[in-house]
Amino acid sequence: MRTNRFMPEYKTAEELQNLQLKGLQWTVGHACKGSARYQKRLLDAGIGPQDIHSLDDLRHLPFTTADDLQEGYPFPLVCVPFDKVVRIHASSGTTGKRKVLCYTQKDIDDWAYFFARCFEMAELSREDRVQIAVGYGVWTAGVGFQLGCEKFGAMAVPVGPGNMDMQCQFLVDFESTVMCCTASMGLLLAEEVNRRGIGDKIKLKKMIFGSERSSEAMRARMRELLGLEHMFDIPGMTELYGPGTGLDCVHHTGIHYWADYYILETVDPETLAPSPEGEIGEMVVTSLRKEGVPLIRYRTRDLTRLLPGECPCGSPLPRHDRLLGRTDDMIIFRGVNMYPRTIDKILSATEGISCEYQIVLERGSDGKEYMTVKAERDQSVDASQNENLSRKIASQIKHSILVSATVQVVDYGSLPRSERKSRRVLDNRN
Ligand code: ZN
């Protein structure tokens, strides 16, 4: 049963709106006062703190982008004096210069509080033992999990990523019940536990995945090998505190997000018009209490959609879908816009196919673009099925994205695996 130590106090949609409006007014005022860049941006847009009368006014506020956080390197958009800054974190900077974010003590306290809410949402108890196998350091992940776990009151086992020997040993010796890691690492661990035959010596019940999407097939494999009860997706980005800004509940109907800490909008990445509820758009966030570096309509480049209706768990916290890709993951192949996730979904739904795959894009000597999808055959299926499976997948791809792909079914275990995020799209066209 879920306790209610870290859940929001509001009960109705109206109470939430009032709370968000107050937070929005405070944020715009704070940003305008604290940062010359924000002040100028608001002035250019002809809107100030005094103009925010309702949540609809959010739409008139200018967007903030990754550029705004990179151009002011090393300390962009800081809105408090430096004697109030108690910590910095940086994003790993997959594209361009890294983004450095400043935190006040209140920011850290807020983060720990709502991260504890993640563990509550996942229905952990204080008796749980949480093995934290994500990176520690200047990146936000590890320390966020750690703070949240301690605040919640469960036992943290801070291991960091990799080191399968130690992970397996701790699972056995400390009887960890919860594992926090990337989905790729979770899969490696599951295979390792299976290989060592220690499945009956461990007490693992739940896994919480950060920073990487996991396919249905990966989840099915981990569930099977580890006997897991639940797997959760934890969203989060350094710009908005770090990981822990939401979690799916045990009904797994989407990610409940902390609407009392930030407003989530979805917009069309091309036109920037709001996407209708239920439709995929770019996730845009506005913080409501963040002091160090508040965010006003920050374009995250992540794609998701807001989910309508109420969750069976009855939580008043709204939901968004899992992250469905990055706006810059979009592949334009022969003039067609597509996301790797579509291929992922097709493969996951194909019986006899495992969860590792690769999409290779090339330009032929005729100047045309070619796509090859490499998919691993399931362990239980033999190679005589390759042709049959390839044909099935190719026809599904043609049917759902209207492009032709060459499909190669390869042996189980032959595609590269990584403890971090696996690279699944190889674009060799240029
Ligand atoms: Zn729920």
DSSP 224-248: HHH--SEEEEE-EEGGGTEE-SEEE
Ligand 1 centroid to Cα of residue 309, in Å, is: 11
Are 300 and 357 part of one and the same domain?
no
Ligand 1 centroid to Cα of residue 11, in Å, is: 15
Measured CA to CA in angstroms, residue 284 lies from 40, 94, 188, 279 at distances of: 20, 19, 33, 14
Ligand 1 centroid to Cα of residue 117, in Å, is: 13
Ligand 1 centroid to Cα of residue 232, in Å, is: 12
**What's the pLDDT score for residue 200?**
96
Burial call 262-281: b when 16+ CB within 10 Å, e when fewer: bbbbbbebeeeebbeeeebb
Ligand 1 centroid to Cα of residue 422, in Å, is: 29
Structure tokens at 20: 């968000």
Structure tokens at 285: 């966030």
Find the CATH number of the domain harbouring 159.
3.40.50.12780
Are 244 and 359 part of one and the same domain?
no
Ligand 1 centroid to Cα of residue 255, in Å, is: 8
Ligand 1 centroid to Cα of residue 314, in Å, is: 6
Ligand 1 centroid to Cα of residue 316, in Å, is: 9
**What's the pLDDT score for residue 370?**
94
Are 346 and 287 part of one and the same domain?
no
Which helix or strand (DSSP H or E) is residue 406 part of? Answer: strand 406-410
Give the domain extent around 73: 1-327
Ligand 1 centroid to Cα of residue 153, in Å, is: 22
Structural domain tally of the chain?
2
Asked if 133 and 180 count as a contact pair (C-beta separation under 8 A), the reply is: yes
Ligand 1 centroid to Cα of residue 251, in Å, is: 6
**What's the pLDDT score for residue 209?**
94
- Of the residues 327, 358, 386, the one at which a domain ends: 327
- Of the residues 301, 327, 353, the one at which a domain ends: 327
Ligand 1 centroid to Cα of residue 236, in Å, is: 18
Are 112 and 196 part of one and the same domain?
yes
Report pLDDT digits (tens) over 168-210: 999 999 999 999 999 989 999 999 999 999 999 999 999 999 8
Cα 149 to its chain centre, rounded Å, is 19
Residue 155 gets the label, from left (phi > 0), alpha (psi -120 to 50) or beta, of: beta
Are 307 and 357 part of one and the same domain?
no
Are 293 and 375 part of one and the same domain?
no
Asked if 89 and 242 count as a contact pair (C-beta separation under 8 A), the reply is: yes
Ligand 1 centroid to Cα of residue 419, in Å, is: 30
Find the CATH number of the domain harbouring 394.
3.30.300.30
Are 143 and 40 part of one and the same domain?
yes
Are 123 and 56 part of one and the same domain?
yes
Ligand 1 centroid to Cα of residue 263, in Å, is: 18
Asked if 141 and 210 count as a contact pair (C-beta separation under 8 A), the reply is: yes
Are 241 and 288 part of one and the same domain?
yes
The residue ranges of the chain whose pLDDT is under 50 are none
Cα 302 to its chain centre, rounded Å, is 9
Are 44 and 89 part of one and the same domain?
yes
Are 315 and 348 part of one and the same domain?
no
Cα 376 to its chain centre, rounded Å, is 25
Ligand 1 centroid to Cα of residue 256, in Å, is: 7
Asked if 193 and 111 count as a contact pair (C-beta separation under 8 A), the reply is: no
**What's the pLDDT score for residue 333?**
85
The pTM is what? 0.81
If you write DSSP's letter for every residue of 78-142 in order, what string do you get?
--S-GGGEEEEEE---SSSSPPEEEEEHHHHHHHHHHHHHHHHHTT--TT-EEEE-S--SSSSHH
Q: What is the dihedral of CA 17, 23, 28, 31, to 10 degrees?
A: -160
If you write DSSP's letter for every residue of 346-359 in order, what string do you get?
HHHTSTTEEEEEEE
Nearest to 154 by CA among 6, 334, 306, 266: 6
- Of the residues 327, 347, 364, the one at which a domain ends: 327
Are 142 and 190 part of one and the same domain?
yes
Ligand 1 centroid to Cα of residue 172, in Å, is: 31
Ligand 1 centroid to Cα of residue 206, in Å, is: 17
